[in-house]
Amino acid sequence: MPATPEGPTPAGGQGAGDGQRSGGSQPNRPADALVGEGVERGPVTAADNGGRAPVARIPEPPGREELPPAKGDSDLRGATPDDMEPPPDALLVVRGLKKYFPIHKGFFNRHVGDVKAVDGVSFSLRRGETLGVVGESGCGKSTMGRSILRLIEPSAGSAHFEGRDIVTMDKAELRRMRRRVQIIFQDPFSSLNPRMTIAETIREVLGIHGIAKGQKANDRIAELLRVVGLRPEHSVRYPHEFSGGQRQRIGIARALAVEPDLIVCDEPVSALDVSVQAQVINLLQDLQRELGLTYVFIAHDLSVVEHISDRVAVMYLGRIVELADAKEMYRNPLMPYTRALLSAVPIPDPRIKRERVVLQGDVPSPAKPPPGCPFHPRCPHPLKDADCAKIVPPLADKGGGHFAACIKVPLGAGFEGGLPVLQ
């Protein structure tokens, strides 16, 4: 029986779940999300490596048939995003993405551990789709967004953009890709040069990518400002002369200058007043319709992503723990964690009351994640048991493309036609 650093894997016993994961069509899929860190970094032999010198790598995780059988009412069934073929119109396909920040200590600067900021994230994004990504602060949302764009180097995994893996692109290809994929930050002020006017800022981007110069650039700047709801005379002003909402519009104009396909929006409205938030979100939605943009929209609040998202991914300690169609997620949240996040979202109708689920304790450190289900120390689920501290729940399709990483959510709990049941 394999043992993992997250604890020994349980053995024996069958329960309400059949104890085995279903659909063994791809037995050798990358299943590290299922067994946590049950793999050691090991050297690759010269034979493995086409005769070249050995390099360090994360070895292949065990196949599905090696997964521990579940006990009692635990249910490990359901295909994971790694099992599934990406849709034919997928613009971005992320697989097993990890970003570990090494921790060094002592006089000799020894490597004593890692902050597992992103720990095996997989999803596909269709062209024109918006994936909302939510989770408490520190759960790895920004690191995931930046790793996909390779603004920071991922530790493992892949991110295929139109079939080409961004993670392995050389510098020239990466530069070309940067025209297609942009990022908008929470605080546009810190990413705008205070000594450059708005026209100079956008002209610089147009020049770097060889898009336009001279009068053509001026025309393009005026057009971009119009598109984001600013006036042409704004172009001669400096960033400090604008309000927060206007600065975010400038950030959007700068991102649009290169005519991207995909924009990672990293908490673009979190610093804005609620009324201004709605204006910026409406602008992003209008632009998406007009320009066919695809978004990864990061927020720490489920209420912000509700209207803009086609699908929503909930992150916890570097992993996606629930992934579903947006409507399904809000009507039928399966994860206890998502239910707790949703219970904090105010309902505009005062006649409807929602019971508040208050989570105990803080988010554990990603340098020392709990064994088994990373949520188990805080989980209020009535069926939580010893399995939860041993098995890393797979992000499994519980029905209708509703993925949840909880072994106490039975297969079939996802909504597939008809009205979903919200308990």
Contact positions toward Mg ion, by CB under 5 A?
142
Distance, CA of 258 to CA of 248 (rounded, Å): 17
Distance of closest approach, residue 377 Cβ to ligand SF4, in angstroms: 8
Partner in contact with 373, chosen from ligand SF4, ligand ADP, Mg ion, none, beta carbon below 5 to 8 Å by kind: ligand SF4
Beta carbon of residue 24, minimum distance to ligand SF4 (angstroms, whole number): 22
Of the candidates 366, 388, 387, the one whose C-alpha atom is nearest the C-alpha of residue 375 is 388
CB nearer to ligand ADP: pick between 128 and 364: 364
Residue 143 binds to ligand ADP (criterion: CB under 6 A) = yes
- Residue 375 as a binder of ligand SF4 (CB under 6 A): the answer is yes
* 138 sits near ligand ADP (criterion: CB under 6 A): yes
- Between 146 and 381, whose beta carbon lies closer to ligand SF4? 381
- β-strand partners of 313: 133, 323
For residue 384, state whether it binds ligand SF4 (rule: CB under 6 A). yes
Dihedral sign from CA coordinates of 133, 134, 140, 146:
positive
* Contact pattern from residue 92 through residue 121 relative to ligand ADP, giving x for each residue in contact according to CB under 6 A and a dash for the rest: ---------x-------------x-x----
142 binds ligand ADP (CB under 6 A): yes
Three-state DSSP at 293 gives coil
Residues near 47 by beta carbon (within 8 Å), at least 6 away in sequence: none
**Contact by Cβ (8 Å): 398, 410:** yes
Q: From the list 381, 390, 398, 402, which residue makes contact with ligand SF4 (rule: CB under 6 A)?
A: 381
By CB under 6 A, is residue 339 in contact with ligand SF4? no
Minimum Å gap between C-beta 187 and Mg ion is 11
**Residue 407: both structure tokens together:** 């072994």
Whether 17 and 412 have beta carbons less than 8 Å apart is answered as no
Output the smallest distance, CB 102 to ligand ADP, in A: 8
Give the whole-angstrom CA distance, residue 369 versus residue 351: 40
Shortest Å, Cβ 128 to ligand SF4 = 32
Interface with ligand SF4 includes 373 (CB under 6 A)? yes
349 or 355: CB nearest ligand SF4:
355
Q: Considering Cα of 193, then 195, then 201, then 205, what sign does the dihedral take?
A: negative
What number of chain residues touch ligand ADP (CB under 6 A)? 12
CA distance linking residue 344 with residue 339, whole number of Å: 9
Residue 79 or 139 with smaller CB distance to ligand ADP: 139
Of the candidates 22, 35, 20, 19, the residue with the CA atom closest to the CA atom of residue 71:
19
| C-beta of 154 vs 371, nearer to ligand SF4 | 371
CB of 247 to Mg ion, least distance (A): 18
Residue 413 lies near ligand SF4 (rule: CB under 6 A) = no
Is residue 6 within 8 A of residue 371, CB to CB? The reply is yes
In the bound state with ligand SF4, the residue whose beta carbon lies nearer, of 163 and 382, is 382
Distance CA 144, CA 163 (A): 19
- Does residue 407 touch ligand SF4 according to CB under 6 A? yes
- The helix/strand/coil state of 70 is coil
Residue 19 site contact among ligand SF4, ligand ADP, Mg ion, none (CB < 5 to 8 Å, cut-off depends on kind): none
Residue showing tokens 């995994």: 157
190 is a site residue for ligand ADP (CB under 6 A): no
Report H helices in 23-113: 32-35
Rule CB under 6 A: say whether 317 interacts with ligand ADP. Answer: no
Output 8 or 102, the one with its CB closest to ligand SF4: 8
**Distance in angstroms (rounded) separating the CA atoms of residues 393 and 383:** 14
Q: Is 346 exposed, middle or buried (0-12, 13-18, 19+ CB in 10 A)?
A: exposed
| CA-closest candidate to residue 374, choices 75, 5, 6, 2 | 6
* Window of 16-24, 141-149, 232-240, 286-294 that interacts with ligand ADP by CB under 6 A: 141-149
Write out the residues near ligand SF4 by the rule CB under 6 A. 335-336, 373, 375-376, 379, 381, 383-384, 388, 393, 406-408
